[in-house]
Amino acid sequence: MSGDVLSMTLPELQETLTGAGLPAFRAKQVFQWLHQHGAADYAEMTNLPKALRETLAQRYPIIGCSIVRRQVSKQDGTVKFLFAMQGGDYAESVVMQYKYGATICVSSQIGCKMGCAFCASTLGGFRRCLTAGEMLSQLYTAERALGVQISHIVLMGMGEPLDNFDNVMRFLDLVNDENGRHLSMRNISLSTCGLVPQIRALQARRLQLTLSVSLHAPNNELRDRLMPVNRRYPIEELLAACRDYAAATSRRISFEYAMLAGVNDSDACALELAQRLQGILCHVNLIPVNEVAESPFHPSAPERVRRFSELLAREGINATVRRKLGGDIDASCGQLRRREQEHHSEGGEPI
Ligand code: SAH
């Protein structure tokens, strides 16, 4: 972290700069440039003396990301960015337009270790965790490129956020800072595949964000097959943690359920799911699975999704069907990076 100015909190930046013999007010100026204006270069910080800007640039480089590719959905205006990180890695973000404002889906790692059978992020292999600054930079770079203020963040891009716990907590602190971007915790969702100890650690922080839990199956037999994490933290343990989380924070948990035709979309699955979720302050999001080239799964038919949703409702479980955005631009996590890797391995020209 030393020198990674974009990942520093304001007190850390003050300490760093005063330690280097600079007055503390400079730290606040730099912090505001970075986080309120999304400055990617010290050259933009025009209220700082030029010589100081040059010194800072040498000592404390701004480690963010740059746009490699941008795809815009013709269907709904969803924009998918492929970002280059330092070290030549790629990460993805998607910006979706909703009635309540623009939402960015941020990646927390390059690749993923969790191994979910239907997810493209796993296929490309795990490379590394992203820093807080690299996560912020996805937001700031997208806002600048699009000329919009993004009002909502979902940590649902590539990677498992709770497998990068400290950096993600730092990211949340920074994006929420009143001297920085000051984005409300209530406008942030964090999605996890179900790392139970980290869910409990998150609960202890009492954040006002929305916790999304990727469930995708109503029992261990099926969930073990789809999500290897379940072999470590079985569904009973996961749901117990969710029950406690919701009770302690009074925040409704959002369960994600990707509908896989003929795999987890039967009436019996719906009833078993409803049974399991009784008494948990929650909501179920049904998502027809996005097809991934190498994966054997196909989305459930709309009629099946509707029926599943009705069965849940009949059992008193609140469910909605997620509107699918960006279907024409590989907008599900890991897909664009995957395409990029294949392109390179086929000997294609880098962009
Ligand atoms: N690792 C975290 C967050 C990243 S994935 C998690 O597992 O929650 C964000 C969401 O997309 C998760 O619910 C994940 O299960 C889901 N997802 C992954 N691949 C998908 C696909 N092909 N179609 C639909 N949803 C998918």
Q: What digits encode the pLDDT tens for the residues 1-33?
A: 468 999 999 999 999 999 999 999 999 999 999
Return the pLDDT at 77: 86
Pocket test residue of 153, 168, 256 for ligand 1, highest count of atoms within 8 A of CB:
256
> Residues 65, 92, 256, 282: which is the catalytic one?
92
Share of the chain above pLDDT 90, in %: 83
- Gap between the Cα atoms of 169 and 176, Å rounded: 11
In angstroms, what is the span from residue 31 Cα to ligand 1's centroid?
33
Burial 275-314 (b: 16+ CB within 10 A, else e): ebbeebbbbbbbbbbbebeebebebbeeebbebbbebbee
Q: Is 65 a catalytic residue?
A: no
Of 159, 207, 211, 172, the closest CA to residue 190 belongs to 211
Return the pLDDT at 324: 65
In angstroms, what is the span from residue 333 Cα to ligand 1's centroid?
7
The pLDDT of residue 84 is above 90: yes
Return the pLDDT at 343: 46
**At 64, is the pLDDT very low, low, confident or very high (cuts 50, 70, 90)?**
very high
- Gap between the Cα atoms of 7 and 348, Å rounded: 34
What token pair was written down for 224?
């073990």
Return the pLDDT at 217: 98
Atom 22 in ligand 1: residue holding the nearest Cα? 290
Asked whether 214 lines ligand 1 (CB < 6 A), one says: yes
Q: Enumerate the H helices of the chain as residue ranges.
A: 10-19, 24-35, 50-59, 120-123, 132-146, 165-176, 196-205, 220-226, 229-232, 235-249, 267-277, 302-314, 335-345
The CATH number of the structural domain formed by 5-59 is 1.10.150.530
Mean pLDDT, residues 216-225 taken together: 98
**At 334, is the pLDDT very low, low, confident or very high (cuts 50, 70, 90)?**
low
Asked whether 118 lines ligand 1 (CB < 6 A), one says: yes
**At 351, is the pLDDT very low, low, confident or very high (cuts 50, 70, 90)?**
very low
Delimiting residues of CATH 1.10.150.530 domain(s) in the chain: 5-59
Asked whether 265 lines ligand 1 (CB < 6 A), one says: no
In angstroms, what is the span from residue 119 Cα to ligand 1's centroid?
6
In angstroms, what is the span from residue 325 Cα to ligand 1's centroid?
14
Ligand 1 atom at shortest distance from the alpha carbon of 292: 22
Return the pLDDT at 344: 41
Q: Is 333 a catalytic residue?
A: yes
CB neighbourhood size of 38 (10 A): 18
Asked whether 290 lines ligand 1 (CB < 6 A), one says: yes
What token pair was written down for 149?
């203020």
> Residues 105, 160, 333, 340: which is the catalytic one?
333
Asked whether 160 lines ligand 1 (CB < 6 A), one says: yes
Mean pLDDT, residues 98-114 taken together: 93
Asked whether 282 lines ligand 1 (CB < 6 A), one says: no
- The CATH-assigned architecture of domain 85-345 is Alpha-Beta Barrel (3.20)
End-to-end CA distance of the chain: 30
Q: Are strands 210-214 and 253-259 parallel, antiparallel or unpaired?
A: parallel
Asked whether 191 lines ligand 1 (CB < 6 A), one says: yes
Share of the chain above pLDDT 70, in %: 91
With beta carbons less than 8 A apart as the criterion, state whether 255 and 215 touch: yes
Return the pLDDT at 350: 31
Query: What angle is formed at CA 301 by the lines to CA 219 and CA 213, rounded to 5 degrees?
Result: 40
Ligand 1 atom at shortest distance from the alpha carbon of 214: 13
Return the pLDDT at 347: 33
Delimiting residues of CATH 3.20.20.70 domain(s) in the chain: 85-345
Summarised one tens digit per residue, pLDDT across range 158-183 is 999 999 999 999 999 999 999 999 99
pTM of the predicted structure, to 2 decimals: 0.93
Atom 7 in ligand 1: residue holding the nearest Cα? 193
Alpha-carbon torsion angle 339, 345, 350, 351, nearest 10:
-10
Asked whether 256 lines ligand 1 (CB < 6 A), one says: yes
C-alpha 65 chain-centroid distance: 16
CB neighbourhood size of 69 (10 A): 15
